[in-house]
Amino acid sequence: MFEPIEVGSRSRRTFSAAGRILGALKLDGPLLVGIGLIMLFGLVVLYSASGQNWSMVFKAGVRAALGGVAMCALAQVKPAFLRRLALPLWVMGVILLIVVDVTGHIGKGAQRWLDLGFMRFQPSEIMKLAVPMCAAWWLHERPLPPDWKALFVVALIILVPSCLTIIQPDLGTGTLILIGGTLVVIMAGLQFRVMFGLAAAGVVSAWFAWQYVLYDYQKQRVFTLLDPESDKLGAGYHIIQSQIAIGSGGVFGKGLLNGSQGQLEFLPERTTDFIYAMVGEELGLLGATILLLLYCFVVGRALYLAVETQDTFARLLAGSISLTFFVYVFINAGMVSGLLPVVGVPLPLVSYGGTSMVTLLASFGILMSLYSHRKLVAS
Amino acid sequence: MGTVRIKDHWGEQRLFEQRAVVASVLIALLTFVLIGRLVVLQVMRYDYYADLSQGNRVRVEPLPAQRGLILDRNGTVLTENRPAFQLELVRERVPNVEATLKRLIEIGVLEADDLEEVTKLVRSRRSFESVPIRLRLTDEEIARFAVHRFEFPGVDIATRLTRFYPHGEHAVHALGYVAAISEGDVKKLEKDQQLANYAGTTLIGKLGLEQAFEKELHGIDGSRQILVNAAGRSVQQQGTLTPDLQEIKPQPGRDIITGIDFPTQLVAEQGLIGRRGSVVAIDPSNGDVIAMVSTPGFDPNPFGRGLTIKEYAALRDNIDVPLLNRAIRGEYPPGSTVKPAIAIGGLAYGITTPQHTKVCPGFFRLPGSSHRFRDWRPAGHGVVNMQAAIAHSCDVYFYDLAANMGVDKLSAWLGHFGLGQPTHIDIGGERRGINPNPEWKRTRFKRREDQVWFPGETVSFGIGQGYLVVTPVQLAHMTSILATRGKSYQPRLVTALREQGTGKIEKIEPKLIETVEASPEHWQVTIDGMVLVMNGGTGRSSQRGAEYQIAGKTGTAQVFTVGQNEKYNEAQLDERLHDHGWFIAFAPAEAPKIAVAVLIENGKHGTAAAVIARRVLDQYILGRTTTPEIPPPVKTAAGTVVVPDAAGDE
């Protein structure tokens, strides 16, 4: 009779002990659990998508671990330091982007990578963090909602790197940088009427971009979205095959390892950008919905942490990180299920690929740091 | 710019919280959109996408049915399926296709002329597909390739069943051949809703039995579902499950049992070596075709692998038209071979009697006309009765009989013997010949003056000349009616169908078309006349030494019309303008087992044909021949053909 009570109380004790350890490490338990569950989900799907390639799963695991380390490390960094780091990081990123654009121009072709000899990395990837950080830093000093002067500076902070990225050309990442920065401004309390005004301006500039800036392959992606059947074997092939994969999965899916679209290679990019279709095919509506709900939980928890932070910089940056994360999920899932054009956006924490995994976990590290250091800031 | 705003921390916190709430609502909404999209795809359009997915992964591969065999009456296989060895190449396993093909030419298993075509073929197929680059390798080529095999990764010898005619050109016109399915065939198959049944088949029957019995021989193709990946490559399984794939077993075609007696067929063919001609032998008791020969023939085997344009042109443009089945498509004037049938007509209609005699002065004149219808024997036959007229093939007697019968009766009577109408033999392409009468002439000719039937035309009709033309099978059919004294059985090659596997035999009943009505004495008189032909008459040389009695009739068909005051001089005529030689016979005369018609194009007279007929009768009745083989004609340097002469009368 006493046994269950013993066990229960012991587990509660264990739980609170874990809480203390997490607290000491400046980590957030629920967020960590959510992220961990999504990554585990991702590894299982990757095992199937890669054709039971253990070495690929192992590599993904190693990257997740590396990202975890980066997250823990960043969680220890004090928000004040991050705030001071914002501007220099942004300036360095812009310089690197210009370097990449110039070498790319010389090399005649898309140039996104910077080769440092021992490793290659994408400066635009840094910008995904640097732009919200810098925008949050700028607005942190100003009264909110921001006035026109503040807005103008923020616009520069956001538009310079995103334009530099778009002309690489990398429309996908450029748009994501733009969204990440814009979310900061919105969370800063930008008036809705201003938002609508900007949206109108956005439509005009989109038309302008369509006419004078966008490359043919980028326009083609939009066309393909509007009518995938028009180009069955070309650009439309991806969308058609991924919709077949998802649709044929039904409510319960074909079972892990049994999705014919994925296993028989009809589904392109099935370990990376189109892994969401693998989920839909093999795990069905049920599996995909569970994954989406896990994402919602993570975003919700992140947003809660953002609200709990105590200064403007922390709030804005944490809010932007949380919402950007959801934007990634929405763009990827929307694109794979045929709601949005095909842009190269991976499914966060699930798609196979190192840079995105590390960047995302790093941003969660920053978010945890912003939250967990609040009491120190207050005292 | 005005007032300096002071940061309101509390207000900013509230503002952020508001925004966070709005954001949460938006997130919930967008998540709802994503899940809604999944519901649309996975629930509402599930069937549609499930079908597409199934169509993606499963490919239906046809399983060809095994084609039925064709056998002779003794069970000898005339047409079979044999494994053929072919060289196949898988592009992705070949390091350098061009070099490999060149090397294959060097070792002599590939023709240099085919290089371009083979290269094109290989490039047009998918890299993992095994492409046949050379069909029907000979044993020697297989051996040669085997020695060099290590040099050719990705090239291998494959085996598949293909149609084979073990006897080459023997009986080819009866059997026909198979060849690649043409566009025309596809249209026809489509119309008959049979196209799906040919998915796994590359060959189709083109002539003779192969064509006429295509449906029975072909059987029903089966199919097998196989799992394929996006590249179209066949894969064993998908993930952890081997999906249940359907397989429909092919139903093999039925074997065809013919009435052909292959030894008799061979003897008949031997007699026509080097000549253009035809032999058709029929069992009079049921219409079964015992032998069907048309020379020259051709080897049907190359058609299965595909003839080159050059090879086909050589066959098509050959002056001797080897592709023509003379037995059913060659139309010739029957000459005197129709005399027995006309004789019995005269008796049956009561126009003449067996005893009635006629003086033959060597020519015939219609009353009130100066035109002389010549007898083949310028000196005439003297006084002849019916039997003598048949025995010596007296033309004057039959000129007179025809003139007395009139064209309408003559034509109608010969119609009962199947002339001028299809025999409905069970292979296609048969010509009906012409059995003329005034009605026919009216419709046949455009010009008014040509449409009139002249009495003189009735006269020539009496000796099987003029407009009357027949095919060898029609004459054999006519002969078999004489042999059975009136029983007209539809000639047929196929007597039964046999199921492969079970061996169950479905017999086809002989078809009695009609019984030609004449009194027994009249039949007897006529047949006695045909017996006399062999005993002192025009066919006597072929009866010599025979162990049974033959009833026969010679015939000569004019190719070149000799002018009224000219004399036919064969030495001056081109060989191809020489008269056609005919011989019809049945034996034994009192209990006939076989009726035969032999035609030698430009054979000058019927005697040479009678020599061939004798050997055919011997072979069928005795199981052996009793006369020497017939030497082929000798082609001289000048190009004329010297036919070894069997001294004959007509």
Which residues 219-238 of chain B have a CB within 8 Å of chain A?
227-231, 235, 238
Residue A377 reports pLDDT greater than 50: no
Q: What is the pLDDT of residue B571?
A: 60
Question: Which of A149, A246, A266 is closest, CB to CB, to B38?
Answer: A246
Chain A residues with beta carbon closer than 8 angstroms to that of B48:
247
pLDDT(A330) > 80: yes
Which one of A260, A263, A337 has the shortest CB-CB distance to B41? Answer: A337
Residue A277's closest chain B neighbor by CA?
B38
Average pLDDT over residues B549-574: 72
State the nearest Cα–Cα gap between A111 and chain B, in angstroms.
31
Cα gap A263→A282, rounded to integer Å: 10
**B528: enclosing H helix or E strand:** helix B520-534
- Is residue B345 a contact partner of residue B414, using CB atoms and an 8 Å limit? yes
Is B21 in CB contact (< 8 Å) with chain A? no
CB B289 within 8 A of CB B425: yes
The top-scoring range by mean pLDDT among A101-110, B570-579, B602-611 is B602-611
CB atoms within 10 A of CB B132: 15
Q: Which comes out higher in pLDDT, residue B190 or B307?
A: B190
Residues of chain B in contact with residue A243, where contact means CB-CB under 8 angstroms, are 41, 49
pLDDT band per the 50, 70, 90 thresholds, residue A1: very low
Distance from CA of B34 to the nearest CA of A (A): 7
Interface of B with A in 409-438 (CB under 8 A): none
- Indicate if the pLDDT at residue B646 is higher than 80: no
- Alpha carbon of A46: minimum distance to chain B alpha carbons (Å): 13
Name the residue facing B43 among A245, A251, A258 (closest C-beta): A251
What is the value of ipTM here, to two decimals? Answer: 0.89
Apex A36 CA angle, A35 and A41, nearest 5: 100
pLDDT band at residue A8 under the 50/70/90 scheme: very low
pLDDT value of position B239:
56
| Residue B35 with chain A: CB contacts under 8 Å | 285, 288-289, 292
Which structure tokens are listed for A19?
């809480």
Least confident of A4-8, A294-298, B21-25, B278-282: A4-8
A327, A340 Cβ separation under 8 angstroms = no
- pLDDT at residue B540 above 80? yes
**pLDDT > 90: percent of chain B:** 51
Task: Tell whether the model's pLDDT for residue B200 goes beyond 90.
Answer: no
Please state, for a pLDDT cut of 70, what percent of chain B lies above it: 93
- Select from B13, B35, B43 the Cβ nearest to the Cβ of A292: B35
Q: DSSP letters along B198-210, please? A: GTT--EEE-SHHH
Q: Are the beta carbons of A264 and B16 separated by less than 8 Å?
A: no
In B232-271, the residues whose Cβ lies within 8 Å of chain A are 235, 238-241, 243
| Nearest Cβ partner for A244 among B13, B52, B227 | B52
List CB contacts (< 8 A) between B231 and chain A: 265
Poorest-pLDDT segment among A71-85, B79-93, B503-517: B79-93
Which of A101-105, A177-181, B334-338 has the least mean pLDDT? A101-105
Residue B573, pLDDT score: 64
Averaged pLDDT of chain A: 84
Q: Which of B17, B38, B54 sits opposite A288 (nearest CB)?
A: B38
DSSP character string of B110-151:
S-GGGHHHHHHHHHHS-TTSEEEEE-S--HHHHHHHHHHGGG
Taking residues B510-515, what's their average pLDDT? Answer: 93
- Which chain B residue has its CA at the smallest distance from A188's CA? B16
pLDDT of residue A280: 95
Q: CA-CA distance, B107 to B115, in Å (whole number)?
A: 14
Q: pLDDT tens digits, residue range B252-292?
A: 999 999 999 999 999 999 999 988 999 999 999 999 999 99
For chain A, what percent of residues have pLDDT higher than 90? 45
Residues in chain A: 379
Optimal mutation site among A246, A260, A267, interface B, most CBs of chain B within 10 A: A260
User: Residues of A with CB below 8 A from B243's CB?
Assistant: 260
pLDDT at B365 over 70: yes
Note the pLDDT of residue B54.
Answer: 83
Look at residue A118 and tell me whether its pLDDT is greater than 70.
Answer: no
Q: Confidence class of residue A4 from pLDDT cuts 50, 70 and 90?
A: very low
Question: Is the pLDDT reported for residue A145 higher than 60?
Answer: yes
Confidence of residue A351 (pLDDT cuts 50, 70, 90): very high
pLDDT at B636: 58
- End-to-end CA distance of chain B, in Å? 135
| Interchain CB contacts (distance < 8 Å): A and B | 158
pLDDT at B572: 59
Q: How far apart are CA B308 and CA A32, in angstroms?
A: 75
Mean pLDDT lowest among A275-289, B122-136, B312-326, B506-520: B122-136
* Chain A residue at shortest CA distance from B4: A143
A72 pLDDT exceeds 70?
yes
Q: What's the pLDDT at B119?
A: 85
What pLDDT, on a 0 to 100 scale, did the predictor assign at position B318? 86
Where residue A6 falls among pLDDT bands split at 50, 70, 90?
very low
Q: Which residues in chain B are contacts of A258 at CB distance < 8 A?
A: 238-241
Residue numbers in B near A260 (CB within 8 A): 53-54, 56-57, 238, 243
Contact B229 A289 (CB under 8 A): no
Interchain contact, B53 vs A245, CB within 8 Å: yes
| 3-class secondary structure per residue, B49-99 | HHHHHHHHHEEEEEECCCCCCEECCCCCEEEEEEEEEEEEEEHHHCCCHHH
In this predicted structure, what is the pLDDT of residue A3?
Answer: 45
What residues does each domain of chain A span? Answer: 33-378
- Looking at residue A197, its pLDDT comes to 87
Range in A24-33, B319-328, B560-569, B585-594 the model is least confident about: B560-569
Indicate yes or no: CB of A296 within 8 angstroms of CB of B53. no
pLDDT of residue B161: 81
Contact between B239 and A337 using a beta-carbon 8 Å cutoff = no
Q: What is the pLDDT of residue A232?
A: 58
Q: Do A292 and B34 touch (CB under 8 A)?
A: yes
Q: What is the pLDDT of residues A303-321, one digit of tens each?
A: 999 999 888 899 999 999 9
Residues A328, A338: Cα–Cα separation, whole Å: 15
- Substitution target in B13, B14, B38 with the highest count of A β-carbons within 10 Å is B38
pLDDT-based confidence at A117, cuts 50/70/90? Answer: low
- Quote the pLDDT of residue B94: 84
Find residue B203's DSSP bridge partners. Answer: B180
B38 and A260 within 8 Å at the Cβ level: the answer is no
pLDDT at B400: 94
- Banded model confidence at residue B618, pLDDT cuts 50, 70, 90: very high
The catalytic residue positions of B are: 336
Query: Band of the pLDDT at A14, cuts 50, 70, 90?
Result: low
Q: How far apart are CA A178 and CA A154, in angstroms?
A: 11
Question: What's the confidence (pLDDT) of residue B649?
Answer: 42
Cβ-Cβ contacts under 8 Å, A147 against chain B: 5
pLDDT of A25 over the 80 cut: yes
Which is more confident, B430 or A377?
Answer: B430
User: pLDDT per residue over A250-301, tens digit each?
Assistant: 999 998 888 888 888 888 888 988 999 999 999 999 999 999 999 999 999 9
Maximum average pLDDT range among A205-214, A232-241, B74-83, B236-245:
B74-83
